[in-house]
Every structure is written in structure tokens, then in C-alpha cells.
Amino acid sequence: MIKVLVVGKGGREHAIITALQQSPSETKIYSFPGSDAIFEIAEEVDAQDLPSLINFMKAKEIDLCVAGEESYLVKDNGLANECEKAGIPCWGPQKQSAQLEASKEFAKQFMVRHEIPTGGYASVDDVDAAVEAIGGKYPTVLKFDGLAAGKGVAVCLDEASAMEFIDEVLGQRKFGEGRLLVEEFLAGPEISIFASVVDDQYQILAPARDYKRISDADEGPNTGGMGAVSSLEMFEGDLRRQIEETIVKPTVEGLIKDGLPYRGFLYFGLILTDEGPKILEYNCRFGDPEAQAVLPMIKGDFAKYVFEGAKGNLQPDLIEFSDGWSVCLVSASAGYPASSRSGDTISGIGELDGAVIYHAGTRLDGEGRFETAGGRVYAIVAQGATLQSAVAQVYEQSDKVSFSGMQRRSDIGVLHF
């Protein structure tokens, strides 16, 4: 039996834990900090911080730690570093390698050093320098140089929106201390690529696209992600080979050259420009909500795959991806993304048939019913042989589940690029 502890509490972690639990290998799964929905399939952990989490893992003789979310990878001495000291295999990179996500400047320097295609940039720490770096050229991309739960990036079409974001980052310090990156705007469709990286080995997984804006037609403010689609068919023509040769392989070689240990999922946020794929960002974990679309398509022994990978044996044959398409539709609470309303009762979950639900911002009320407790509330995910059939199924099923003030997009999967 594999005793696994998964770190995180959102929809991605609910999907990871579900995939581990459904694996043929026998597992006992623990979740930290977890959620009421996750605790229906995983045990709660008695810990408050990284040191007590490590102590818990030692006491319970945990075989495998899986970093669902990124924050603990760079907290204190780093989750994976502490796991290594305790002799616990960890699926998630060490702190020094997780800087690829935690510091946008570190990531840009890495890309430039290893000649991985990306847009030009400048790193600044005051308003005047930011204005000078933009040089009156719009659109421009502004990024807070630190972890901001997917919200520290703004594509600014004009000076007014740029000044507003610069003030949030450098004036109000909305995301905490950190520099601002001014990046070249790259035009083209976006694609999320995931690889399992184990030292100098890697396996590219099914690609996905996420939908970041709150409203249809990619309008309105950015969110943590309102939906996602995934299919191996998104690797049209020569795209997979191109991405592997120009982005994935040089990244893994760069990690080795720089002495950055890496075992875990590595996420490449790419833009397909006229000059070929270019990288926007790395994330040192699976994407959310992409994980909710990708993971239900995995067949094979995912638990053993991750366990072996964390021990240094990447075994690609342990998993494969279903043909067809997977579509994930997120429902968000009233007020999201500016705020979020809690306490709205969710009805109809038990009526889902041919779709799965992954909880993100929910909790149980006093009567044992799920209610809203966060911005993105849950994701409903369905598969189909074609994109159209998967989209039809996900919307048909999602219509059964609702709560007051629910917001969701009506065009997830309609436009996949």
C-alpha cells in the first residue's frame, strides 16, 4: 500500500486525489490542508505549518508527498527539501528549482541563459522605471515578481490600465514585496503544456487550454481560471515535436546544467506565435483548472507512476491518455473575481451522471449540504469523442447543479484556440 499525502485544498488537489484513489495500486491518502469535499476520500492531517507537516508524515510513515499547490515548495526551507531530509519521496521540486515559478525574473534569466524562446523583458522596482520600460508601447504585459495565485499578471491595453496595475504592485503592494516585470506582448493562441520531470528524464502529458477571463469571448477581468479543455488532438501537425525540441528539452537540460533538482509536474505556459512557440511562464505544479480536465483522461496506474517518479524512476508506460476531449467548466460565486460570496447552498450535485465534480471553494453547512466558500466554487468535467460532444455533455450536466449568484462562462470549449 502507498501512503500518500497531498498538499493543497482546491479543485486541482481534489482531481489529483481522485486520480490517485482510482489507481489500481492500493493507496491510503491524506490531505493537507484539504477541504470538506476532499475529506470524503482522504484523511485530514493534524498540522499547522511545514515543520508539523513533516512531523506528521514521519509519524504516519508516509511513503509519498505530492505537492498539489506551489506555496509550500518555497515556504521556509521548502517542502521537497524537508521531505528529502526526512527520507520521504516528494513529487514537487526543491525550493531552489521552484524559483522558476516563485520568481518571474529568475525564470526569465533561466530562459535567456538556456536560449529558450520567450518575449523580451525588463525588471523594475519603481513607477518611473516601469513607465520608461513600457516606452509607450501597448499592449504591454506586467507581472508581479512573486507568487500571486495566478492573479499577479496583467495584459494592459492602454496607459490607464497599466498605471492602475503598477500602483497595485509597487504602490499598494497588493501582492507583497517584489519587483515588477515589464514584458513584451506576444500575440497568438495560448496552450498549457505539462511534463513529468524526473532529473534528466521527462514525459510530455496531454496539453490543455485554460480560460482565464470571467466572461464569454475572453472578456472581463482575469480569474484563477473559468474552465479548460484538453486533448492529445491539440498537438496539431508538428506542434508536439516543436514544443519538445525548442522548449521542454532545453528546459530539462537547463535544470541539469544549473544543478536544479526537479521531480514533479512542470507546467509550461506557451504562446504559439508566428515565429513558433514561446514561453510565457513556468509553474512548478499542475495547472488549475487544467488538472481537472487532464487527469480524468489518464488510464493506468497514476499512483504508482507518481510514486516511482518521486523515487527517481520515470515510468511513462504506467499511464496513457484516453482519446477524445475533456472539458472542465468552472462555476464561481457571486462577486468573483473582485470578491466572493460564501454561504450559498449548492443543489443538484447528486444528479450528475456522466460527469465528475471537483470542489474548490465549498464547505459543508450545519445540515451536511455543500455551500459556497470561495471564488471558484467547483468544476464539472466531462469527456467526449469530439470536442463538441464533450462540450454538450459538460453543459447538460452542469445545468443540474446550481447556487444563488452562480457565474459561469457559456463558451468553454467553443473556441479551443
- Give the interface with ligand GLY as residue ranges (CB under 6 A): 150, 210, 225, 283, 287-288, 290
Nearer to ligand GLY, 287 or 361 (CB): 287
Quote the least distance from Cβ 70 to ligand GLY, whole Å: 9
Helix (H, G, I), strand (E, B) or coil at 364: strand
Give the shortest CB-58-to-ligand GLY separation in angstroms. Answer: 30
Spatial separation of the C-alpha atoms in residues 14 and 8, rounded to whole Å: 9
Q: Least distance in Å: CB of 374 to ligand GLY?
A: 16
Rank residues 18 and 292 by Cβ distance to ligand GLY and give the closer one.
292
The minimum distance between CB 375 and ligand GLY, in angstroms, equals: 14
Q: Which is nearer to ligand GLY, 168 or 288 (CB)?
A: 288
Smallest gap from Cβ 44 to ligand GLY, in A, equals: 25
Q: Cβ 183 to ligand GLY, closest distance in Å?
A: 16
Burial class (CB in 10 A: 0-12, 13-18, 19+), 115: exposed
Q: Under a CB-based contact definition with an 8 Å cutoff, are residues 413 and 325 in contact?
A: yes
**Calpha distance 22→26 (Å, rounded):** 9
Task: Determine contact, residues 387/366, Cβ cutoff 8 Å.
Answer: no
Query: Looking at beta carbons only, is 225 or 413 nearer to ligand GLY?
Result: 225
User: For 62, which DSSP code?
Assistant: -
* Amino acid present at 105: E
Q: CA 353 to CA 377: how far, in whole Å?
A: 19
Q: Which residue is nearest to ligand GLY (CB)?
A: 287
- Minimal CA–CA distance to 30: which of 52, 56, 6? 6
Give the 3-state DSSP-derived string for 1-58, with helices as H, strands as E and coil as C: CEEEEEEECCHHHHHHHHHHHCCCCCEEEEEEECCCCHHHCCEECCCCCHHHHHHHHH
User: In the bound complex, what is the minimum distance in angstroms from residue 212's beta carbon to ligand GLY?
Assistant: 7
Q: Exposure string (b/e) for 310-342, b if CB count within 10 Å is 16 or more? A: beeebbeebbebeebbbbbbbbbbbebbeebbe
* Residue among 105 and 288 whose Cβ is closer to ligand GLY: 288
What is the tally of helices (H) and strands (E) in the chain? 12, 24
The nearer residue to ligand GLY, 63 or 210, going by C-beta atoms, is 210
Residue 165 amino acid letter: F
Between residues 70 and 168, which has the closer beta carbon with respect to ligand GLY? 70
Whose cell is 521531505? That residue is 83
The smaller minimum CB distance to ligand GLY, of residues 379 and 394, is found at: 379
Q: Which is nearer to ligand GLY, 134 or 360 (CB)?
A: 360
